[in-house]
Amino acid sequence: MKNMAICNFIVSILGMMIGAAIMMAASEFPLEFTENGPGSGFWPFALGTALALVAVMLLVYSISNKKELSEQLVALTLPANKRVYVMMVIITIYCALISVLGFYPASALLIPATMKLMDFHDKKIIAMTTVGTIAFIYVIFTVLLHTRMPQSMFLE
């Protein structure tokens, strides 16, 4: 068992690192506003900034309440946490697959995997949800917003 202060410090550092990575990646896209609205990097940059700021707030809170948080224990090995850890692995694999397969094929694997993890096993509904979600994303981002989604490294 770990105490809450240690867990909060770790989450804070990871949050700041991930937020910074998101901001760096988003800064490669246009951030400025045009007559059509913000550039394609604006919202990812804003989300990365928000994540980093929340991580800093958690760090400040943890430092100012270190004594109380040190007394609270966190059980990381409970069976109830298993789904959280499996979902973390699924998301990590998904992020890697986006580069290898491209956004749409990777998403076609992510959606059913997530639904099965959440104990949903109706194959017809899983298939309809997967196709519907990917079609919705395609129409909104590719057709209407003319956004190029990540493609397989083998197609570039």
pLDDT digits (tens, 9 = 90+) for 16-27: 999 999 999 998
Locus of tokens 């770790």: 10
- The tally of domains found in the chain comes to 2
The arithmetic mean of pLDDT across residues 80-89, rounded, is 91
Q: Which domain holds residue 47?
A: 1-76
Q: Give the up-direction half-sphere exposure of residue 57: CA atoms within 13 A in the CB hemisphere.
A: 6
Which residues, in sequence order, are bridge partners of residue 3?
A: 73
Same domain, 93 and 149: yes
Same domain, 46 and 11: yes
Same domain, 49 and 83: no
Same domain, 52 and 110: no
| pLDDT over 70, % of the chain | 99
Same domain, 70 and 2: yes
Locus of tokens 């700041």: 16
* pLDDT tens digits, one per residue of 133-145: 999 999 988 888 8
Is 25:98 a contact under the CB 8 Å cutoff?
A: no
Is 30:23 a contact under the CB 8 Å cutoff?
A: no
User: In the listed set 57, 76, 95, which residue is the last one of a domain according to the structure?
Assistant: 76
Same domain, 88 and 155: yes
Q: Which helix (H) or strand (E) holds 54?
A: helix 42-64
Task: Report whether pLDDT(80) > 70.
Answer: yes
* pLDDT tens digits, one per residue of 109-131: 999 999 999 999 999 999 999 99
| pLDDT over 90, % of the chain | 66
Per-residue pLDDT, 156:
64
